[in-house]
Amino acid sequence: MRFAIIADIHANLEALQAVLEDIREQKCTHYACLGDVVGYNANPKECLDIIRQMNIPVVKGNHDEYCSTDDPLDGFNPAAAAAVAWTRKQLSEDDRQWLRDLKYQRLVNGFTIVHATLDAPQRWGYVFDKLAAAASFTYQNTPVCFFGHTHVPVAFMRDTVVRGGTYSKFKIEAGKKYFINVGAVGQPRDNNPKAAYVIYDLDESTIELRRVEYDVAKAQKKIRDAGLPERLAERLALGR
Ligand code: ZN
């Protein structure tokens, strides 16, 4: 069984299509999605249609939540608020209901998926360091949990202490717990503009981070044509 774990698609259709093609080439058999299907980029409807049709386990991200309610956007940075307001208008009521119905965390084939943290999944905290990872580990009941939200691929491991760092491929060892950020499909923020996702091979017990090139210029043009903030286009080429 080979799972493709995808997160933070953020309405980037070019990145999603490139990642799905790589997933097929890599002969994955199953999928899980860690949320933030929509928000920021220019194809929320198209990306949501694809994910809905795939009929795979999906958890709710903060942008999925913001874009599926009519809550006021006080306290948001202006670019994010503009993207949320625009995205709300692109989605049908049925799409918004589908997003509202997503769960915050799920158990999939013996591993856990969550968008932000396990200690308070609805509060959208950011796990960048060992201290924040340790808080999630306290609530982690499976050896492996995948998360997103920071758009920075990093893996934390707990045996007697918590360790963490960047990774490309590693083996899951028995008796340890792993809290793994799979990076972002649609808006990478680790200074690498390539789309990111992870292959979890349950037979080999391996985790592999994949980076996939896609047509950044096309995604940027759509953002500009939609009248979304210029900063959202610029950051795709920078990977931050
Ligand atoms: Zn996100």
Q: What is the mean pLDDT of residues 116-128?
A: 97
Cα distances (angstroms) measured from residue 186 to each of 10, 129, 141: 5, 23, 29
Q: Tell me the C-alpha to C-alpha distance, in Å, between residue 78 and each of 75, 83, 84, 89, 126.
A: 9, 9, 10, 17, 20
Q: In angstroms, what is the span from residue 201 Cα to ligand 1's centroid?
A: 24
Centre of ligand 1 to C-alpha 62, Å, is: 7
Q: How far is the CA of 15 from the centre of ligand 1 (A)?
A: 14
Q: How would residue 74 be classed by pLDDT, with cut points 50, 70 and 90?
A: confident
Q: Report the separation in Å between the CA atom of 33 and the middle of ligand 1, taken as the mean of its atom positions.
A: 12
Interval 5-57: pLDDT, tens: 999 999 999 999 999 999 999 999 999 999 999 999 999 999 999 999 999 99
Query: 77 C-alpha to center of ligand 1: Å?
Result: 14
Tell me the pairing of strands 30-33 and 2-6: parallel
- How far away, in angstroms, is 143 Cα from ligand 1 center? 24
Please, what are the domains in the chain?
Answer: 2-238 (3.60.21.10)
CA angle 8, 11, 15 (to 5 degrees): 75
Q: 105: CA distance to ligand 1 center in Å?
A: 15
Output the pLDDT for position 137: 98
Report how far ligand 1's centroid is from the alpha carbon of 189 (Å). Answer: 10
CA of 38 to the centre of ligand 1 (A): 9
160 Cα to the center of ligand 1, angstroms: 31
- What separation in Å is there between the alpha carbon of 17 and the centre of ligand 1? 18
pTM: 0.97
Rounded to whole angstroms, the Cα distance separating 99 from 52 reads 10
